[in-house]
Structure 1
Amino acid sequence: MARKTGSHAETTGPRIRAAALTLFARHGYAAVSMRQIAAEVGVQAGALYLYTPDKQALLFEMMREHLETLQAAWDAADKPKDPLERLEAFTRVHIGFNLERTEAVFVSYMELRNLEPANFVVIEGLRRRYEDKLERILSDGVAAGCFKVPDTRLATFALIAMLTGVTTWYREGGRLSRERVERIYCDMARRAVGA
């Protein structure tokens, strides 16, 4: 018997991915077994293989989905012509998107080492495409004379690390509202590029 009575294909697949994400974030990919994921969902271990070939495929798909959805969020955002305004828009989109997905952010950064080589190449390519979007903003700002950045690639890495870091400490209902955090980070991003 592969499927637990009462389980449904349209809900079980997403529940499996959600359980795997939570367990990977809490215990680390290497420490989580398919049996643990199945137990978390309430299905037999064999049922997982109706939805995914293996644990590596789960990790890869959640990372790919996270990065593709992040890029889609930026692609859908309004992008002002002015590089400084575009940098602010990028900052707000990045922080807002990632604060809604702290487990996915954690797994996407901390579990890169556990990707098989072919999967790593795909994820690294998606990350570079996203980084390129910010680097284009910085390059445009340097060309327009409004940013002072000695190396746009290095500045890109530093800014993304700073912006992503908010997911490690921000708590809803804490001392600072999300809007206040975004405003402070926009100001820090401007200062980081000499604007």
Structure 2
Amino acid sequence: MAANILQGLKKRRSIYGISKNIPVTEAYIEELVAEAVKHTPSSFNSQSARVVVLFGEQHDKLWTITKETLRKIVPAESFSSTEEKIGSFQSGYGTVLFFEDQAVVENLQAQFALYKDNFPIWSNQSSGMLQLVVWTALAEEGIGASLQHYNPLIDEEVKQTWNLPASWKLIAQLPFGTPTAEPGDKAFQPIEERLKVFK
């Protein structure tokens, strides 16, 4: 069983070439993400994660918002490469948006003042675990994805466009679709420099 988990982690790579199709149904993606949200741990069982899945036109709209937001701040002479990069995400089938509900975090801070400074950190750690679970689960289904961070630039427009609560803080965006190319070889630092074992 542990070998299956590790194999899944090895499959999970940053895939930038993605297409507007997937080998499973949208309903299956919804179920996969729901199970990940339900079972990924959180500090104090806070369950502060909030997730939005965008398909089709809604997915395209997100990346149009991102492109037009960046157009306002990226110099015109440099914008073509930015536009190309955003286009690669938009060429995918969908996007998973990861949020953390700050109302939950703030409530815990009020209840447990001793750990007040830690709750935002733990919230981010929980979100990171959820991102990995969803990303790995997609990879197991033959779906490529890459994790993006255009927050806080797009936060307010995203919340307005999809009528999301003000307390939801955008953490990351995961565009996904069927891979159009295999990722290159990945370089690894010597494990001996990164892992210590004491017996």
TM range (shorter): under 0.3
Give 1 or 2 for the bigger CA radius of gyration.
1
Q: TM-score scaled by structure 1? A: 0.27
* Higher RCO (CA 8 Å, separation ≥ 6 residues): 2
Normalising by structure 2, report the TM-score: 0.27
